Amino acid sequence: MKATLCESLFGNIFTFVIKCIKMRLKDNIAIVTGGARGIGKAIAELFAGEGATVYIWDLLDIGSETAKELSSKGYQVEFNKVSVTDRTQIEAASQAIFDKHGKIDILINNAGILRDKSLFKMTDDEWDASIDVNLKGTFLCTRAVAAYMRQNKYGRIVSAASTTGLRGNFGQANYAAAKGGIMSMSKTFAIELGKHGITSNVIAPGYTQTHMTDTIPKEIQQMALMQIPVGFIADPIDIAQGYLFLASPEARFVSGITLPIDGGFTR
């Protein structure tokens, strides 16, 4: 009985030690914008599980509950109510994180919105909202956070695009323009920041089951499913795994790319 108990205890300790050794983001400081739910939440949880201290930036108050939920699992996760369109908020939050930790290692530009309308129905406000949050927000966060990464000669920036930015999509001229802009902008970041030890890459998720896609009519969802060669819709964790690789030290020679994670949709 005692031998069995000791073996079990040793096994648990061994598993814990191995897990700690394998933590790919141990001691990293990461910011995940739009991390309150969906893909952003999956990224935050995955990164925290890999040893990172994660700051969720979001306007949704549910971000506080997300941080509490993940913290209850033993992860280091905090919530900051930050709008990615507000330069003052972004700069203040970045400064506070840097002052506390002396570094920022990872920026995940995940925050985004949909304002879908076809060409002749789309209003100026709907166009501007999509460009401001999706494209300008990525620029503002990158400019602020990369300044601190540059000081430590290390950084991983991964931004969210979409297969819509690669192929276009009916009723999403604003979204396609923003996501296409993110892909081009990220290449420029890669060129400008590479000498400072900072990589810049993009993930282009395909159809993923989130709160945002839940608003799409069921018949449209079914049509989308029929175009995915692997035959199923992604869970947020499927997308988060791509972010983990590009944010890890192993991806040190990967910069300026867009990685579609879409089940073969983009081909």
* pLDDT, tens only, 191-237: 999 999 999 999 999 989 888 777 777 887 788 889 999 999 999 99
Average pLDDT over the chain, rounded to an integer: 92
Q: Which residues contact 84 (CB under 8 A, 6 or more apart)?
A: 33, 34, 57, 90, 109, 111, 133, 137, 138, 140, 141
- The pLDDT, as a whole number, for residue 2 is 53
In a domain, 246, yes or no: yes
Q: What is the DSSP letter of 131?
A: I
Residue 211: predicted pLDDT: 80
Instruction: Find the mean pLDDT for residues 63-77.
Output: 98
Domain housing 183: 27-261
- Whether 108 maps to a domain, the answer reads yes
From CA 229, how far away is CA 266, in angstroms rounded? Answer: 10
How far apart, in whole angstroms, are the C-alpha atoms of residue 183 and residue 24? 26
pLDDT band at 187 (very low <50, low <70, confident <90, very high): very high
Residue 12: inside a domain? no
Nearest in space to 109 (alpha carbons), one of 82, 128, 129, 88: 82
Residue 182 is assigned to a structural domain of this protein = yes
pLDDT value of position 21: 56
Average pLDDT over residues 131-144: 98
**pLDDT score for 18:** 47
Q: Per the domain annotation, does 1 fall within a domain?
A: no
Q: Which of 75, 175, 207, 243 is catalytic?
A: 175
Is the residue at 9 inside a domain? Answer: no
For 88-113, write each residue's pLDDT tens digit. 999 999 999 999 999 999 999 999 99
Provide the CATH number for the domain around residue 127: 3.40.50.720
Alpha-carbon dihedral angle through residues 51, 52, 57, 62, given to the nearest 10 degrees: 10
pLDDT at 84 over 90: yes
Examine residue 3 and state whether it is found in any structural domain, yes or no. Answer: no
User: How many independent structural domains does the chain possess?
Assistant: 1
Task: Please indicate, yes or no, if residue 60 is contained in any of the structural domains.
Answer: yes
Q: What pLDDT sits at residue 60?
A: 96
Q: In percent, how much of the chain has pLDDT > 70?
A: 92
Q: Is the pLDDT of residue 5 over 80?
A: no
Question: What predicted TM-score, i.e. pTM, was given to this entire model?
Answer: 0.90
pLDDT band at 130 (very low <50, low <70, confident <90, very high): very high
Question: Could you confirm whether 175 is annotated as catalytic?
Answer: yes
